[in-house]
Structure 1
Amino acid sequence: MAETSPAVQPIQLPPHDGSVLSVVDMHTGGEPLRVIVSGFPEVHGDSVLAKRRYIWQNLDHLRRALMFEPRGHYDMYGALIVKSELEEADLGVLFMHNQGYSTMCGHAVIALGRFAVDYGYVKAPVSPETQVNIQCPCGLVKAFVQYANGKTGRVRFHSVPAFAFATDVAVSVPGHGVVAVDIGYGGAFYAFVSAEKFGLDVNESRTRDLVDAAAAVTAAVKAQVKLHHPTSPDLAYLYGTILTDGKDAFSEEPSANVCVFADSQVDRSPTGSGVTARIALQFHKGLIPLDTTRTFQSGATGSQFTGKAVEETTCGDFKAVIVEVAGQAHYTGTASFVFEKDDTLNKGFLLK
C-alpha cells in the first residue's frame, strides 16, 4: 500500500532564505485579482497618485515578480492596499498589470469591496449593505457591499465623473484603413469600436484576432489623438480598446464587449471602468437616460455587469455623469510567495 502524506495544517513553507509576500486571490466575472496583504515594502507619497509614481520608479520589480510567471501569468491583475490621503477613505489602492499601474479598475473595486468588509477595513459592517470608500489613483470611488448574516455578496460602486472625450474620431489603422472610434473616460480612457468593422464577432471570433484588432486601434489612437484630463496629466493616457457588438442603442438584452488593455492583456470580465465609460458615451449620445440599468456581457466568459448613469456632474469643461456599476466577486484562495535568493527567475518572465 502506498504511503499517504501526513496532513499539515496549516501548510507552511520549508526552511528557505529570501522574503515572503502573502496574497488573497479573487476573481470578478472571471478576471483575476491578486490582493497583496503583507510583505510589501512601504510605498511613499503624499497622495495615491504620488504613491503610484513611487512604486513604478522604485518597486516595479515586485509587480513583475507577482504578476509575471512563475507566480502569475500574462493576464494576471493585482491590487496593493495603501494608505489614502483622504479622511473619508477606508483604504487606498494601487492597481497593477502586465505593463504597469492603471488609474482605475472596476472589477478590482468590486472584489475589494468584499475584501475590505471581510478583512476588517470597515468597522461594524451593517445590513443590508455596507459602504466602502476606496481611494483609487483616479479619485474616490464609493462601493456598496451586500452584507447579511456576516457574509458579503454582490457589490455596486459609484464611479468618479465619467465623460465622453470624443466621438466618431477618424483614425488610420494599419491594415484596416480609416476607422471611426469613440473615446470615453471612466477612471481611465478607452477607445470603443464595433468588432464588425474588422469582420469580427466579440462572442465568436478567436481571442487572438480580437486582440490583434484592438491592439492596432490602441496604437493608432495613441499616435494620432492627444488626450487630456482636467484634473491631472497622470490620468491622460489611453488604457486600451474595447471592441463591442455594436449594440449601443438601449435594449433589455445584454450588450457584449471585449476589452484589450495594457500590453495586449485581455479582460475576462465586462470591464468595470469600461462599462463606466461606455455608459458615459451612451448618455452623451442620448441613447440612455439617467437611472436606466443596462446589462453588459463579457464576450470572453459570458459574465455580466450592470451599469447606469445615476447623476449628472462635470469634470473640468466636460459634461459628465456618475455611473453605478454592479457585479459579483469570488474568492479563489490564498498564497504566500517566497523569493529565494538563488532563484535566477525571481524577477519573473512572460511568454508571448
Structure 2
Amino acid sequence: MSQHALNWKHAIELVEVHCQGEIGKVIVGGAPEIPGATLLDKMNHLNQVDDSLRRFVTFEPRAAVQMSVNLLLPPVHPDADAGFIVLQADRAHPMSGSNCICVVTALLESGRVAMQEPETIVRLDTPAGLITATARCQDGQCLSVSLDNVPCFVEVLDFPLQTASWGSIRADIAFGGVYYAIVDAEQLDLTIAPDNARELMEAGMALKSLLNRQIQVCHPEMPSLDEIAYVMFRGRDADGAVRTCTTLKPGRVDRSPCGTGSSANLATLFARGLIDVGGKQVSRSIIGGEFTAEVLATTEVGGRPAILPRITGRGWVYGTERLRVDDHDPFQQGFALSDTWGPLVGELQ
C-alpha cells in the first residue's frame, strides 16, 4: 500500500439506489450504535438527542437536497429480517414507500438478504411498524417490490384551511405511515408538471406551516407521531391515474409517486366510497414514474376505520459509496445554503 493512501479507519458504507428517480441511499456499514429499545425509540433519539449521523449523511458537502438516506439497523421486531429509519435533511422519519423499496432492493441485490426467484418476501422493522415486502426477482435483480404498509386512515376529509394567498381551500388529512395533508392542486390554479415544481414546492411549504398551526394530529397508538409531515398535491390524469407531488422540507418535491402519500390518498378514496377492498389505483409522479396502490383489507386503528394498503413500484441500484469520517473535517455537521436548498433552509433542525 502506498504511504499516501487514504486512512479509512472509520468509514460509512452505502448502496446507492433510486426509486422512480427518487434517491434513497442505504447505509449498510460503519454507522454508530443508536440507543433505543425499539425502532421508534431509535428514531426519537436521532431527532431529540443526537442528530450528528443524520447531518453527516444528508447535508453538504456529502449530500444534496433532493435525496434521502436510509439507516439500516438490526431489527427489534422478532419477525423482521432488517430494520431501517429514513434520514432526511429536516429530521428522521418513520416510514417512506420509495425508501422502503430502495432498502428492499439494496438488501436483495447486495446479498444481505438471500434472494429467491421468482419471489422473495422481506419483512422490515420500522418506527411506524412491521412492513412486509414481496419482491419479484429475476437474474439477480428486483423487477418490482410490493409493500404491505401499516394501517392507514383518514383524520379528516375536506379540512377548511384558511390562507392569505388562495383563500379557503380544502385539505384531506390522512395517515399513510406519516401524516399527510392532501390538496387538490387545481385549488391553487396549478397543474402537477415538471415546469411547476418550484411553485408547487413553495406552495407546499407555505401550506405545511399553516396546517400545523390550524390543526393538530396525533396517532392514536404512537403519540410521538404528532405532526403533518408533508403536503401532497393531487391531480387526475385522463387515464384515471392520480398525479401526485409531495413537497418536502426545506424546499423540494418528491421525484417518486410517494408510497406513504399514495397510501394516505388510498385511505381518502376508500373513506369516500370511491374504491373497494381489492381495488387498485395508479399513482403517477411529477416526472411520470408509477406506483400501484391496492386496498388489501380493512382494519381499525385506535377504534377508527382503517385500510391495509399495498404499494408496488421498482428501485434501481446505481452504485456504491464510501464516506470517510475524519475528526478534523470542519464540516462534519454539514451545511446547507439557500441557493439550492431554498429560503426555508434556516428551519432545518
TM-score under structure 1 length normalisation: 0.90
Question: Unaligned stretches of 5+ in structure 1?
Answer: 1-7
Number of the residue aligned with 1:107: 98
Number of the residue aligned with 2:87: 96
Deviation at 1:334, TM superposition (A): 0.6
**Contact 1:239-1:262 within 8 A present in 2 as well:** no
Distance 2:53 2:79 in 1: 29
Deviation at 1:344, TM superposition (A): 1.6
Q: Which segment is superposed worse, 49-58 or 37-46?
A: 49-58
Alignment partner of 2:325 out of 323, 336, 339: 339
**Contact 1:173-1:216 within 8 A present in 2 as well:** no
Deviation at 1:17, TM superposition (A): 7.4
Number of the residue aligned with 1:86: 77
C-alpha spacing 1:289/1:45, structure 2 compared with 1 (3 Å): same
Q: Which segment is superposed worse, 29-38 or 262-271?
A: 262-271
1:147-201 CA-to-partner distances (Å, cap 9, x unmatched) read: 2344332101111001111001111123222111111111111001111111111
Alignment partner of 1:329 out of 308, 315, 321: 315
Number of the residue aligned with 1:270: 257
Number of the residue aligned with 2:208: 218
1:111-166 CA-to-partner distances (Å, cap 9, x unmatched) read: 1122222334434x433211100111100011001123443321011110011110
Number of the residue aligned with 1:62: 53
Distance 1:43 1:342 in 2: 23
Where in structure 2 are the equivalents of 1:213-292 lying within 5 Å? Answer: 213-246=203-236, 252-292=239-279
Where in structure 2 are the equivalents of 1:114-263 lying within 5 Å? Answer: 114-123=105-114, 125-203=115-193, 205-246=195-236, 252-263=239-250
One-letter amino acid of the structure 1 residue matched with residue 254 of structure 2: D
Distance 1:204 1:16 in 2: 43
DSSP-derived class of the 1:234 partner: coil
Question: Unaligned stretches of 5+ in structure 2?
Answer: 339-349
- Is 1:48 the counterpart of 2:35 in the alignment? no
Distance 1:47 1:90 in 2: 15
Number of the residue aligned with 1:14: 5
Distance 2:12 2:75 in 1: 21
One-letter amino acid of the structure 2 residue matched with residue 281 of structure 1: T
TM-score under structure 2 length normalisation: 0.91
> When the two structures are aligned, how many residues end up with a matched partner?
336
Distance 2:120 2:198 in 1: 40
One-letter amino acid of the structure 2 residue matched with residue 351 of structure 1: L
Distance 1:55 1:49 in 2: 10
One-letter amino acid of the structure 2 residue matched with residue 173 of structure 1: T
Number of the residue aligned with 2:288: 302
Deviation at 1:58, TM superposition (A): 4.2
Question: Alignment identity in percent?
Answer: 28
Distance 2:236 2:119 in 1: 35
C-alpha spacing 1:324/1:17, structure 2 compared with 1 (3 Å): closer
Distance 1:158 1:290 in 2: 14
One-letter amino acid of the structure 2 residue matched with residue 97 of structure 1: Q
Aligned-residue CA RMSD (Å): 1.9
DSSP-derived class of the 1:55 partner: helix
Deviation at 1:18, TM superposition (A): 6.9
**Contact 1:305-1:326 within 8 A present in 2 as well:** yes
Number of the residue aligned with 1:3: none
Deviation at 1:252, TM superposition (A): 4.8
Q: Which segment is superposed worse, 253-262 or 41-50?
A: 253-262
One-letter amino acid of the structure 2 residue matched with residue 330 of structure 1: W
C-alpha spacing 1:91/1:17, structure 2 compared with 1 (3 Å): closer
Deviation at 1:87, TM superposition (A): 0.8
**Contact 2:39-2:76 within 8 A present in 1 as well:** yes
**Contact 2:25-2:102 within 8 A present in 1 as well:** no
Alignment partner of 1:28 out of 15, 19, 25: 19
DSSP-derived class of the 2:329 partner: coil
Distance 1:18 1:348 in 2: 20
DSSP-derived class of the 1:275 partner: helix
Distance 2:8 2:194 in 1: 48
Distance 2:141 2:251 in 1: 36
**Contact 1:166-1:182 within 8 A present in 2 as well:** yes
**Contact 2:205-2:247 within 8 A present in 1 as well:** yes
**Contact 2:295-2:310 within 8 A present in 1 as well:** yes
Deviation at 1:318, TM superposition (A): 1.4
DSSP-derived class of the 2:93 partner: coil
DSSP-derived class of the 2:224 partner: helix
One-letter amino acid of the structure 2 residue matched with residue 238 of structure 1: I
One-letter amino acid of the structure 2 residue matched with residue 49 of structure 1: L
